[in-house]
Structures are given as C-alpha cells and as structure tokens.
Structure 1
Amino acid sequence: MTDPSTFDDFYTNPAIDFAPRPGEILRRRAVGTPLLRGANRAWQLLYATRTAFSAPIAASGIVIAPDHGEAAGTGPILLYYPSFHGLGGRCAPSQLLAGEGSEPESEFITTALDRGWTVAVPDGQCLGVTGLGPHAFLAGKAAAHAVLDLARAVRALPETDSDEAPCAVWGYADGGRAAIWAAEQQPHYAPELDLRGVAAGAVVADPGALIPEIDGGAWSGLILGGLIGLGRAYAHLPVGHILTDDGYQAIEHAQTLDAAALLATYRNTPLARWCERPDPWNDPMWRYVLDSETSARETPQVPVHLYHGTEDALVPVAMGRSVFAEYRSRGVDVSWREYTSSHLGAATAGSTEAVARLTSYLARRPPLATRAAPPGPQTT
C-alpha cells in the first residue's frame, strides 16, 4: 500500500531492467534546505544499491554541501544515518531536509557542515522511493549497503569535487546500527572507499534480545516495525506464517506510518496480539532471521567510537558494551564512552565527542595500500 502523501515524480521507483553499478546515480535534482543552517547547495539522489541478498534496488538520499570553501564538496564526506523515522509516509530524511518539515537530527548535521564536511544522508532501503516500501527497518546489511553506495554516489556526483574524498559514518540507535554494519561490510563490499572511521551511539546490536525486553510496553510500535522491516528484507522466506488475519491487517496499516504514529498507535500492544503464538520471536524461522541480524559478525578495519547512556530504557547499555568488548577482542581500534543519561539524552551528550573522534579519524592518513576497484555491474 502506498501512502498518497508521498507522491513525488522524482521519488518514483525507476525501472531497473539492467544491473547498475552499486552507487550509480539513477536520478538527481538540486534542492534547497531552507531550515538547515550551514548548508550551501544540496541534491536529492536516487542511486543504485543492493539488498541484503544482492538484488539491485533503488535507494534515495540527500547530499548537502557546506557553506564553506570555493567549490562544493571539496571536504571530507560524512555519511549520517538518522535514527528510525518510520516505515512509510512522508518521513524520509531527504524529504524532510529539503522541505518545510522538521528533521529531528538537523543539529547533528549542522555540526558536521560547520566542520566543512559534505554530509550525505541515506533514507535507508525502501524508505522514500515510492512503491518499494515498507522500510527495511533493522536489516543491518541492507542499511550498510545503502550507506556505502551513497558514499559511492557522492564521489560520482558531477556538481561536487569529491571523487577522492575520505569519508566517515555516524549514526545513533538504528543509525548507529547502520554505521557499524557499514564498517563491517566495507572491506569486502566497498573496498575502494577511503573510509577513515565510524561513530555509533546506542547501537541496536541484537534485535532478537531487545524484542522481549520492550515488547508490550511504550515502545511496542518499534517491535511491530521491526517485524515488518525484517519481513521486507527477508521477503524470500515464509516469515509471514506466524501472523493471524488481524496481524496481516495491522501490518497493512502500520507499514504506511511514520515513527510517531507507529508508536502512538501500537503503544502497549504486545506482538503476540498479531501472531499465532505468544512468543513469535522464538519461532524457528524468526530465530534464523534474528540470529542473522546480530552485530559484530565481522571485523571493521577502521577506528570505531561507541557511546551509550547508562539510563537508556530503550536500548540497554549492555548491548553497546558487548559490541565494544567483541571489537576489542578482535583488535579493532575501538573507544567507548558512557553517559549518565537516557536514550535521547545520550544522543546529545555524546555528539560532541563523536564529532571530535570523527575529525581525528578523517585527519589520519589512509594505509599505504592499493585500493580495489569498485564492483562492476552484477550479472544474474
């Protein structure tokens, strides 16, 4: 079901009847960002990426050049992945930043622009592009591909001078999850990118462990959203077999909602309300999906800064600590910071050090090694 409020010819899903190179720009247009301080020129993009299972798909995002320097895009590239905005509706960050709507994380984007960085914001797979939804919420590899392929698209954008620019990734909550998955995937998915480092806060490292902790409470809408998002990412599997008839109707409605409406509509409603069993996360098919979505499965080759609030009632601080411990055991250049703060409070409290860490990472020289060429068109 497509929400008519999202209709915009630019965001219409382009017919991909060929195998485009990951990061290839499929459509672009210059836009204004009237509510974003520190921005100069900006472009909305549709670009080619890959699903978690390597199928070609279009994704959308926005590239914002800072109001610094003589030419657009001469500085480093920051890939900023926002926290969860919703499953559908007109809530894609690239739409909010270019319109009169409010982008909740504008402050963090502005901080990066003030540093002279070009900021690229992916919407995430299946959010923004009309007809692809719902958003593949919590699908780690899909999010990583959307991030890394947007970096490729920025380097190819003719209006900027970014073809050899170093890049970094930053995100919080679901955005933090996307950031570390990008770091883990980059060595083999996008080895030609000059990725210098990652900052990630309140990482949703293990959705399977998180679901029973918050199911039935104030955040229950996110659990239903995760079911829908991962169901979209794993659509080739029979993941819908656990749903009741009421469950199918709930999903039909929920997949059109932004985050605020999703949380308000399904507050305090346990997932079992929509499923054939009281613990759907323990269904064998869903155990496979959730086990496949744990983070720290691979080893980043770049520095990683992790941070978390000790009073986080949504994403337990133990999740962040476990990722830190796992990375450290593998020899990753990883740092950790805890803040005596809530989930939302730590996003702000940790932003200053996150930017300082990213600045340090971007100033480092890359290893003296020949980078691999980007992958060519995929044949099937």
Structure 2
Amino acid sequence: MSLDATAEGVGWATEPTRTEHHRPGRPLLPENDPFYVPPTGFAATAPGTLLRSRKVKLGAMGLVPQKITAWQLLYRSNDLNGTPDATVTTVMLPAGADPAKPLHLLSYQCAIDAVTSRAMPSHSLQRGAKFVGAAPQLEFLLIAGALARGWAVSIPDHEGTEGHWGAPREPGYRVLDGIRAALDFEPLGLARDTKVGIWGYSGGGLATSWAAEMAPEYAPELDIVGAALGSPVGDPGSTFLRLNGTAFAGLPALVIAGLRRVYPDLDRVIRQHSSMAGQSLMKAIESMSTIEAIRKFDKYDMGDFIDIPFADLLALPEVVHVIDDIQVGLIKPAAPLFVVQSVNDQIISVDDVDGQVNRYQAAGAHVTYIRDRISGHLTMHPISTPVTLKWLDDRFAGKPLPADSTTTVLSSTLSPSAVLGLLEMGWVAAKVALGRSF
C-alpha cells in the first residue's frame, strides 16, 4: 500500500489539490505540481515504496489521445550519495489487458538528455504537453511496440526531479525503484516475481546500463531477465570531449548543466572560470530541449567561454574526479545484455561502446553485441527496435540465450523476421499517430 493510502485501506492516494492557475488542457510543470512533492516522513520508508498515484491521459506528441490505461507513481528512491529522494514513473497497461493473465514488465528509459522538467517523460508524455524536441514524445512510437505485445510498461524519470542528466549510478537506483513501485501497484496486477526487462537507447541506454550494473547489489530480488542497451554511450567523458565544438556541441553542454547539479565542486570550478557569456549560456540551456540545445549550440566550443585553456580546466582535480566517476561499464551486470551500436554513429563512438562491451565481457557478463554498418545514431534506434523486442520476448519466454558474441552486420534489418518486425512497428506507429487501439 502507498504511504498516502486511504484510512480504509481500499484506495490509492489521489492527486493533491491544485491551487495554481494554469492553462486548461495542459499539465502543470513538475516543479509547480504538488503531486511530485513527497509526503512527510517518506525518507523513513524503503527504496521503491509507492508514495502516491494518479491516473493520467497520454497523448502522442502531446496532441493525439491514446487509448492506453496509464498512471503516474511517485516513489521513494536515492540520489547519487544515498540521500532519500522521490521521483515519478509513468506506468501503462495495453488496451484490453486481461487482469487474470500474468504480465511481463518492461522498464523503458527514455533519452531525456536535458535538465528541464518539461523534457521528463512524466510531463512530456501527457496529453496537452507542449514542448517541441522532447525525446520521450518521439520514443513513444517505439514504446508502443512493447504495449502491442501485451507487456506492462514503466517509464521512469530517471534523472529525478532535479534533472541530473549524466549523473552516475543514481539513474539505476531510480529505474530499479520504479520497477519496485510498479510491482507493488495493485491496478497493474503484477506479482513480486514478475519477469522484468529493461531497455533504453542513447541517454536511455546509459541509464539502462546503470540499472543493469546496480541491480545485483541494489535490487537483487528483482527478476531482471534481460537488459537491452542501444548505443549506451560507452565512455561519457570521451563523448563530451569529442562532441565539443561540433554540430552536436549542445549535448555536452546539457551534460555540464546536469552534472553541475550533482557535483558542487564542479559547479564551483565552472563558476570560477566561466566568462559572463558562458554563465549566460549555461543558464539558458537549463530550459532547452535536446533538439533546441543542439540547434542553438551548433559548433560552440566550451573553451571560448572560460578564462583558462580548456585542457587546463579538464586537468583540474575536481573535473578529473567527475570524468572518472561517470565512467560506465566497470561493474558486472547479472542479467544478460543485448547491445546494438552503429559503426558510423555521428554522436556515440563505436570505439567507446566496444570498450564498454569489452569491459562487461572481461568481467564475465553475457553480452550479445550487434554492430550495424549502415545506420546512423538517429536511425539505429527504430531500425534495431524489432530485433531488440524479439530478444526481450525470448528472455521473457525463457528461451536459451544466443551465443555470447560480437557481430558486425551490414544492417540489422537483413532478415525476414526483422523486415516483418519493421512492418509491424510501422503499423503500430500509424495507430499511435491516429489515436487507435493497438
């Protein structure tokens, strides 16, 4: 039962009364919404405790109503330093789900890749949300493929309520605690031993990596049967350096905005060495979506906005500590892994993902790794969705694992089953766009 359960013990806590004026038909921003404020005493509860719930209406791109039963769950979790905090996951049931039939649960981690609350899935997936460039709105077209397979889905705000984009470990805590909350949420009808899959791409793949790495120690009771990591960054520090000054310079700028909220010493160093223009840019990016930041920070070099050489800034102990701390791939996941990556990715280097996979394999993790020659970063996600869903489906079904392997292919679509999967995905996406049941 949730912390805010009714005195009779038969109902779930409802949304707190909204007193702030807002435009009809649009959801409140999380920072203005009392639903996101945890109740007094929540810190004394166990991680994953369900604190509050409410039904929500979803809209494709915030506009097209979706015939999906969905709720938001506020639950207790931990930040990077183990301090109790609370965040929200959006949980969904496919249309016509049979409450008597056991369901599988997929936790899907969106590529939030921003620090503004407008980009969080709990806000941007709601009907009436108006925020162009929020990645979760685009990813919902792919998430629908999981719902169409009859799976329950959890989509956590894995950056928390403060937008900790790029932080290590804590995205894993929030993913795993969101799963715990979903399993305890009675309307979903999930058992404690429900089979769970986790999946994400790009920034969501990084969050899924952290969840897979944290799970054995943080949430060993969860039956995580597989983790699908799409272009999971591999080496965040390397990615930051490589993208600075390029057409994708907005991405490392967003990471800085997020990490400043997590590492006080980093924030102090940046404030100390940033020019007035640099401070203004950092302030402006806090309200931008991923796409907007990429567009506005095109070719920006962070070295132009500090008072010491960029290499000297990177050599400061406070910065070195952060770069070392955010490295993924150093902890062995217990669940089998499925990794996909474009060889010619313009944003995430295949060498960095190769390194992450090699570290997992050296530690004894089971990894099926597919490197795709034709796709790019943006096209790899939809192209790889059919094979990813098939791999997850096989894990839910308890089928034998494929060989632990690294394979480079011309395209992951070059098989009859993959082509059929793409056609099915297109059909489901069309239904999403039209607001039809799927």
TM-score (ref. length: structure 2) = 0.76
User: Is structure 2 residue 45 aligned with structure 1 residue 20?
Assistant: yes
- Could you say which residue in structure 1 is the equivalent of 2:351? 318
- Could you say which residue in structure 1 is the equivalent of 2:369? 336
For 2:258, the aligned partner's letter is G
* Structure 1 residues 272 and 121, CA gap change in structure 2 (3 angstroms): same
For 2:370, the aligned partner's letter is R
What percentage of residue pairs aligned between the two structures are identical?
26
- Could you say which residue in structure 2 is the equivalent of 1:376? none
* Structure 1 residues 73 and 172, CA gap change in structure 2 (3 angstroms): farther
* Higher mean C-alpha deviation, range 284-293 or range 244-253: 244-253
Deviation at 1:55, TM superposition (A): 0.6
Q: Give runs of aligned pairs for residues 78-157 of structure 1, distance below 5 A.
A: 78-101=106-129, 103-126=137-160, 129=161, 133=162, 135-157=163-185
- Could you say which residue in structure 2 is the equivalent of 1:258? 289
* Higher mean C-alpha deviation, range 33-42 or range 214-223: 33-42
* Higher mean C-alpha deviation, range 153-162 or range 324-333: 324-333
Unaligned runs of 5+ in 2: 1-21, 23-27, 401-438
Q: Distance in 2 between matches of 1:337 and 1:287?
A: 32
Unaligned runs of 5+ in 1: 367-380
Deviation at 1:71, TM superposition (A): 1.6
Deviation at 1:350, TM superposition (A): 1.1
Q: Distance in 2 between matches of 1:261 and 1:72?
A: 45
Quick check: 1:122–1:146 contact (8 Å CA) kept in 2?
yes
- Could you say which residue in structure 2 is the equivalent of 1:179? 208
Q: Distance in 1 between matches of 2:191 and 2:306?
A: 49
- Could you say which residue in structure 2 is the equivalent of 1:32? 57
For 2:50, the aligned partner's letter is I
Q: Distance in 1 between matches of 2:339 and 2:59?
A: 32
User: Is structure 2 residue 199 aligned with structure 1 residue 170?
Assistant: yes
Deviation at 1:203, TM superposition (A): 1.1
Deviation at 1:89, TM superposition (A): 4.4
User: Is structure 2 residue 325 aligned with structure 1 residue 292?
Assistant: yes
Deviation at 1:325, TM superposition (A): 1.7
Q: For residues 11-40 of structure 1, what are the alpha-carbon distances to aligned partners after superposition, in whole Å with 9 as ceiling and x for unaligned? A: 443355432321112221011224389853
* Structure 1 residues 362 and 203, CA gap change in structure 2 (3 angstroms): same
Q: For residues 257-283 of structure 1, what are the alpha-carbon distances to aligned partners after superposition, in whole Å with 9 as ceiling and x for unaligned? A: 221222222221112233333233332
Q: Out of 315, 334, 338, which is 1:301 matched to?
A: 334
Matched position secondary structure for 1:331: coil
* Higher mean C-alpha deviation, range 107-116 or range 318-327: 318-327
Deviation at 1:74, TM superposition (A): 3.8
* Structure 1 residues 34 and 71, CA gap change in structure 2 (3 angstroms): farther
For 1:262, the aligned partner's letter is A
Q: Distance in 2 between matches of 1:289 and 1:212?
A: 13
For 1:342, the aligned partner's letter is G
Quick check: 1:85–1:259 contact (8 Å CA) kept in 2?
yes
Matched position secondary structure for 1:232: coil
Q: For residues 31-79 of structure 1, what are the alpha-carbon distances to aligned partners after superposition, in whole Å with 9 as ceiling and x for unaligned? A: 1224389853110122111011101111122001112432289411100
TM-score (ref. length: structure 1) = 0.87
Quick check: 1:65–1:72 contact (8 Å CA) kept in 2?
no
- Could you say which residue in structure 2 is the equivalent of 1:196? 225
* Structure 1 residues 171 and 37, CA gap change in structure 2 (3 angstroms): farther
For 1:21, the aligned partner's letter is A
Q: Out of 213, 218, 227, which is 2:256 matched to?
A: 227
* Higher mean C-alpha deviation, range 154-163 or range 170-179: 154-163
- The alignment of Structure 1 onto Structure 2 pairs a total of residues equal to 356
Matched position secondary structure for 1:104: helix
* Structure 1 residues 281 and 347, CA gap change in structure 2 (3 angstroms): farther
Q: Distance in 2 between matches of 1:47 and 1:245?
A: 40
* Structure 1 residues 210 and 73, CA gap change in structure 2 (3 angstroms): farther
- Could you say which residue in structure 1 is the equivalent of 2:307? 276
Deviation at 1:179, TM superposition (A): 0.9
Matched position secondary structure for 1:233: coil
- Could you say which residue in structure 1 is the equivalent of 2:416? none
Q: Distance in 2 between matches of 1:56 and 1:16?
A: 12
Q: Distance in 1 between matches of 2:115 and 2:84?
A: 20
* Structure 1 residues 19 and 255, CA gap change in structure 2 (3 angstroms): farther
* Structure 1 residues 358 and 183, CA gap change in structure 2 (3 angstroms): same
For 1:140, the aligned partner's letter is P
Quick check: 2:109–2:204 contact (8 Å CA) kept in 1?
yes
* Higher mean C-alpha deviation, range 36-45 or range 161-170: 36-45
Q: For residues 165-188 of structure 1, what are the alpha-carbon distances to aligned partners after superposition, in whole Å with 9 as ceiling and x for unaligned? A: 111100000111111111110010
For 1:183, the aligned partner's letter is A
Q: Distance in 1 between matches of 2:392 and 2:262?
A: 30
Quick check: 1:85–1:92 contact (8 Å CA) kept in 2?
no
Q: Distance in 2 between matches of 1:228 and 1:203?
A: 20
Q: Give runs of aligned pairs for residues 64-75 of structure 1, distance below 5 A.
A: 64-71=92-99, 74-75=102-103
- Could you say which residue in structure 2 is the equivalent of 1:46? 74
* Structure 1 residues 283 and 162, CA gap change in structure 2 (3 angstroms): same
Q: Distance in 2 between matches of 1:63 and 1:136?
A: 21
